[in-house]
Amino acid sequence: MFPIDPTADGSRRAWFGCPQCNHGVGCDECISGRNCGDHWQYLLSNEAWLLHLQCPDCGHLWSIDSRPATGAA
């Protein structure tokens, strides 16, 4: 487990599932698409759509492209 980044700020959050620990799986609030008060990630920084995140539960660090997926025509 990584320590929480010292620049992490609880007021900068993103609602994406952690690929490491999957916290929030099965949460009714998360499934509904609302911003759950329990299952969020630290938003460490961003570069346009590229978000750099850290899970507050397991400490996992990762980046994700947050652009909406487009369907193939």
pLDDT at 59: 94
pLDDT < 70 stretches in the chain: 71-73
Spatial strand order of the sheet with 13-14 comes to: 13-14, 41-47, 50-54, 61-65
pLDDT of 72:
60
The pLDDT of residue 73 = 55
Residue 56 CA to chain centroid, in angstroms? 9
Judge whether 32 lies within some domain.
yes
With respect to residue 70, please indicate whether it lies within any of the assigned structural domains: no
60 domain residue, yes or no: yes
Q: Is residue 73 part of a domain?
A: no
Predicted pLDDT at 30: 85
The whole-angstrom separation of Cα 9 and Cα 18 is 17
In a domain, 30, yes or no: yes
Which residue range(s) make up the domain with 30?
13-65
How far is the C-alpha of 40 from the C-alpha of 53, rounded, in Å? 10
Q: Does residue 56 fall inside a structural domain?
A: yes
pLDDT at position 41 is 95
Instruction: Please check whether residue 59 is in contact with residue 51, taking contact to mean a CB–CB distance below 8 angstroms.
Output: no
Q: What is the pTM (predicted TM-score) of this model?
A: 0.84
Number of structural domains the chain divides into: 1
